[in-house]
């Protein structure tokens, strides 16, 4: 029987497909969940998460961009970004215990990516959880101020292009199983102690 963990895995994969450019995936959510036996309460839970992320995508992405330091949001791997979006939505909007949300996100990451990505996602979600009460307006003000400083530093640095800090490219770290935008079969998570009971 499907659990909330399985539902989150399904949602992460749906968000991966959506983030990879498959906007039409939204029309087939019910069909895909049914195919993979995400039924009844877990079906409703999964649809609430998926639709909630899309509804609040602008704020979700804003909070991720605000939290990352010296990283390019667009160069985060599609699967990692999908997991982050799901985690941020749950932290900010669901009322779910933040520790459970982060733990679930890390378990999903371990199954679909690598240790580097797991540490990256842990740091981002932990920081967002600690700043969950920060308003969108405050974040926008801080981001605007940060951009002004960056612009000034660029203007005052000779041959500034030669001194740019390299940005890690998480797309290169993605699992080989996620190189297309098609939603793959929703495999249950590896057996983790108590993972199915959480959330």
Q: Give the model's pLDDT for residue 33.
A: 95
Report how far apart the first and last C-alpha atoms of the chain are (Å, whole number). Answer: 15
Give the closest residue to 84 by CA, choosing from 111, 102, 66, 72: 102
Q: How far is CA 41 from CA 7, 16, 37, 48, 58, in A?
A: 10, 23, 12, 11, 27
pLDDT value of position 153:
75
Q: What is the pLDDT of residue 191?
A: 40
Q: What per-residue confidence (pLDDT) applies to 150?
A: 74
**What pTM value is reported for the model?**
0.77
CATH topology of domain 4-158+165-178: N-utilizing Substance Protein B Homolog; Chain A (1.10.940)
Q: List Cβ neighbours of 119 (8 Å cut-off, separation of 6 or more).
A: none
In this predicted structure, what is the pLDDT of residue 18? 95
For position 147, what pLDDT does the model report? 77
Q: Three-class SS of residue 119?
A: helix
Name residues of the chain where pLDDT drops below 70. Answer: 157-199
For the chain, the structural domain boundaries read 4-158+165-178
């Amino acid at each position: 029987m499907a659990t909330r963990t399985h539902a989150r895995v399904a949602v992460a994969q749906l968000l991966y497909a959506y983030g990879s450019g498959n906007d039409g995936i939204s029309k087939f959510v019910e069909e895909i969940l049914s195919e993979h036996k995400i039924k009844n309460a877990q079906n409703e839970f999964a649809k609430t998460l998926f639709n909630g992320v899309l509804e609040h995508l602008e704020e979700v992405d804003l909070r991720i961009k605000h939290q990352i330091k010296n990283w390019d949001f667009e160069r985060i791997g599609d699967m990692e970004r999908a997991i982050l979006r799901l985690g941020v939505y749950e932290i900010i909007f669901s009322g779910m215990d933040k520790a459970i949300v982060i733990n679930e996100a890390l378990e999903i990451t371990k199954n679909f990516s690598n240790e580097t990505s797991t540490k990256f996602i842990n740091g981002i979600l932990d920081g967002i959880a600690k700043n969950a009460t920060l308003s969108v307006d405050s974040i926008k003000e801080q981001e605007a101020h940060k951009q002004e400083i960056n612009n000034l530093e660029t203007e005052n640095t000779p041959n500034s292009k030669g001194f740019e800090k390299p940005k890690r490219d998480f797309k290169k770290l993605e699992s080989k199983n996620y190189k297309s935008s098609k939603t793959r079969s929703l495999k249950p998570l590896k057996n983790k102690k108590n993972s199915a009971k959480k959330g």
